Chains A and B, each alone.
Chain A
Amino acid sequence: MNKITKWLKLTCEDTLLLISEKMDHSLPLSKRWRAGLHLAMCTVCREYQKQLWILSSLARCLGKAEGPTDPSFKLSLEARERLKQSLK
């Protein structure tokens, strides 16, 4: 029984790696169960999971053609002129 409990009980360190992995591929059933069990009991890991979802949605937004921009993201006048010349 102790062995089963030990196998079922993941540490936070193990679980955080699985939370990240789950964003990249489908976890095998046994890992899903064990991570799910840990998450049900651990607020720290649940918050971490939420933070990775936020990170992912920020990254998607950053990658869009119309994503937010600041002055350093604009072509300089010189760069624009160089591009203009090369397209002639």
Chain B
Amino acid sequence: MDKPEKLDSNMWLDNYGDMMYRYTLVRVRDPDEAEEIVQVSLLAALQAKDSFQGRSSEKSWLFGILKHKIMDHFRAAKKHVSLDLSSDDPGDPYEKAYDHTGHRHSPSSSWNLDPESAAQNQQLVLALSTCLDKLPDKYRKVFIMREVEGLSSNEICNEFNIQPTNLWVILHRARNHLKKCLETQWLGK
């Protein structure tokens, strides 16, 4: 049996600092908030150091704490701004692409990308990050929780008091805004 891994808190910042910051920044957008979340997570890890039982690697353990702190951040933000759909939220960017019968005026262009291998294109992944920064805050948060964090629709609805049908509309619009951004700015469509 493998020896349980030991923690080396003196090396956390050197070994995982940038990785934790990047992981957080992808999710919360604001550099100051991201730095604060990394700090709070590392301090929480220091306090919980003695309870580490070596069942997971040091890195997984630290990222587990970080994930909790990021969710705490989202929960705290919902107290100030509701994430449910409102009439003020931006609509579907492709709304005008349909005629009165609901059919498209012109066909959308093909991306010529393979879904299996597209994520190996690091430039495209980073392009998505830039497009995410341009999304309205509500759409961004909901998309992050669903597609980046992998929470289920039920979890998001229960945690953030969103009606399921509204959640699906928010996600549909968020995806369309991202799709349009990728097409116009990165895929040259």
Is A28 in contact with chain B by the CB < 8 A criterion? no
User: How many residues on A have C-beta within 8 angstroms of the other chain's C-beta atoms?
Assistant: 45
- Specify which of B9, B103, B116 is in contact with A87 (CB 8 Å cutoff): B9
B171 contacts A62, C-beta separation under 8 Å: no
Name which residue of chain B comes closest to A26, CB basis: B153
Residues of B within 8 A of A69 (CB): 18, 22
Interface size class of B (residues with CB under 8 A): 35 or more
Q: Please report whether the interface of chain A is mostly helix, strand, loop or mixed according to DSSP.
A: helix
A24 contacts B26, C-beta separation under 8 Å: no
Q: List residues of B whose CB falls within 8 A of some A CB.
A: 9, 12-13, 17-19, 21-23, 25-27, 31, 35, 38-39, 42-43, 46, 59, 63, 94, 98, 101-104, 107-108, 110-111, 113, 115-116, 118-119, 122, 124-126, 128-129, 132, 143-144, 146-150, 153, 164, 167-169, 171-172, 175, 178-179, 182
A62 contacts B125, C-beta separation under 8 Å: yes
With A12-B104, A59-B128, A66-B19 known as contacts, the answer to whether A53 contacts B150 (CB < 8 A) is no
Residues of A within 8 A of B18 (CB): 69, 73-75
Name which residue of chain B comes closest to A78, CB basis: B35
A25 contacts B126, C-beta separation under 8 Å: no
Residues of A within 8 A of B168 (CB): 17, 20-21, 24-25
In the complex, which residues 38-88 of chain A have their Cβ closer than 8 Å to any Cβ of chain B? Answer: 43-44, 47-48, 50-63, 65-70, 73-75, 79-80, 82-84, 86-87
How close is B115's CB to chain A, nearest CB, in angstroms?
A: 4
How close is B22's CB to chain A, nearest CB, in angstroms?
A: 4
Q: Please report whether the interface of chain B is mostly helix, strand, loop or mixed according to DSSP.
A: helix
Q: List residues of A whose CB falls within 8 A of some B CB.
A: 11-14, 16-17, 20-21, 23-25, 43-44, 47-48, 50-63, 65-70, 73-75, 79-80, 82-84, 86-87
B124 contacts A58, C-beta separation under 8 Å: yes
**CB-based closest 10 A-B pairs:** A11-B102, A63-B148, A68-B122, A59-B147, A13-B102, A61-B119, A20-B172, A73-B22, A53-B115, A57-B119
B110 contacts A70, C-beta separation under 8 Å: no
